Amino acid sequence: MAGTPVLPATGPRLLAGWHETGAPADLAEHRRRYGPLPLAGRPGRPTGLIDEVTAAGLRGRGGAGFPTARKLAAAASGRRPVVLANGCEGEPASAKDAALLDLAPHLVLDGAVLAAHALGASEAVVCVHDGAAALSTLAGAIAERDDPVPVRLVAVPARYVASEESALVRFLNTGDARPTSTPPRPSERGVNGRPTLVDNVETLAHLALVARFGARWFRAAGTPELPGTLLVTVGGAVRRPGVYEVAGGTALGAALQRAGGPATPVPAVLAGGYAGSWLPVPRSLDAPLSHEGMRTAGAALGVAVLLALPTGACGLAQTAHLLRYLAAESAQQCGPCTFGLPAIATDLTDIVACRRSAPAALARLHRRLEVIPGRGACAHPDGAARLTASALRVFAADLHDHLQGRPCPGAGDPPLFPIPARR
CATH architecture of 315-403: Up-down Bundle (1.20)
| φ, ψ of residue 205 in degrees (nearest 5) | -65, -40
- 3-state DSSP assignment of residue 134: helix
Please report the pLDDT score of residue 1 as a whole number. 44
Please report the pLDDT score of residue 365 as a whole number. 96
CA-derived radius of gyration, the chain: 22
Q: With contact defined as beta carbons under 8 Å apart, do 306 and 254 qualify?
A: no
User: What 8-state DSSP symbol labels residue 46?
Assistant: -
Q: Which of 384, 386, 380, 385 has its CA nearest to residue 181?
A: 380
User: What 8-state DSSP symbol labels residue 57?
Assistant: T
Q: Give the right CATH number for 229-309 from 3.30.70.20, 3.10.20.600, 3.40.50.10320, 1.10.357.10.
A: 3.10.20.600
263 vs 175: CA distance, rounded Å: 44
> 390 — alpha (psi -120 to 50), left (phi > 0) or beta?
alpha
In sequence order, what are the residues at sequence separation of 6 or more whose Cβ sits closer than 8 angstroms to the Cβ of residue 23? none
- 3-state DSSP assignment of residue 380: helix
11 vs 8: CA distance, rounded Å: 7
Q: With contact defined as beta carbons under 8 Å apart, do 312 and 289 qualify?
A: no
381 vs 373: CA distance, rounded Å: 6
116 vs 146: CA distance, rounded Å: 14
Q: With contact defined as beta carbons under 8 Å apart, do 375 and 336 qualify?
A: yes
Q: With contact defined as beta carbons under 8 Å apart, do 221 and 229 qualify?
A: yes
Angle at 40 between CA 34 and CA 44, to 5 degrees: 130
pLDDT tens series, the chain, 423 aa:
445 566 767 778 899 888 778 888 899 999 988 888 988 766 767 888 999 999 999 999 988 889 999 999 999 887 889 999 999 998 999 999 999 999 999 999 999 999 999 999 989 999 999 999 999 999 999 999 999 999 999 999 988 888 888 899 999 999 988 888 777 888 888 888 899 999 999 999 999 999 999 999 999 999 999 999 999 999 999 999 999 999 999 999 999 999 999 999 999 999 999 999 999 999 999 999 999 999 999 999 999 999 999 999 999 999 999 999 999 988 777 777 788 899 999 999 999 999 999 999 999 999 999 998 887 777 888 999 999 999 999 999 999 999 999 999 999 999 999 998 765
44 vs 79: CA distance, rounded Å: 10
Stated pTM of the model? 0.93
Edge to edge, the sheet with strand 268-271 lists: 242-247, 229-236, 305-309, 268-271, 277-280
Alpha-helical (H) ranges within 162-306 are: 165-174, 201-219, 252-258, 291-297
Q: With contact defined as beta carbons under 8 Å apart, do 311 and 264 qualify?
A: yes
Please report the pLDDT score of residue 35 as a whole number. 86
Segments of 18-122 assigned E as strands: 82-86
For residue 338, give the amino acid letter.
T
Neighbour-count burial of 162, counting CB atoms closer than 10 A to its CB (0-12 exposed, 13-18 middle, 19+ buried): buried
For residue 250, give the amino acid letter.
T
Q: With contact defined as beta carbons under 8 Å apart, do 237 and 266 qualify?
A: yes
Domain 16-219, CATH class in plain words: alpha beta
Q: Which of 176, 201, 189, 163 has its CA nearest to residue 378?
A: 163
For residue 22, give the amino acid letter.
G
Q: With contact defined as beta carbons under 8 Å apart, do 68 and 203 qualify?
A: yes
Structural domain boundaries in the chain: 16-219, 229-309, 315-403
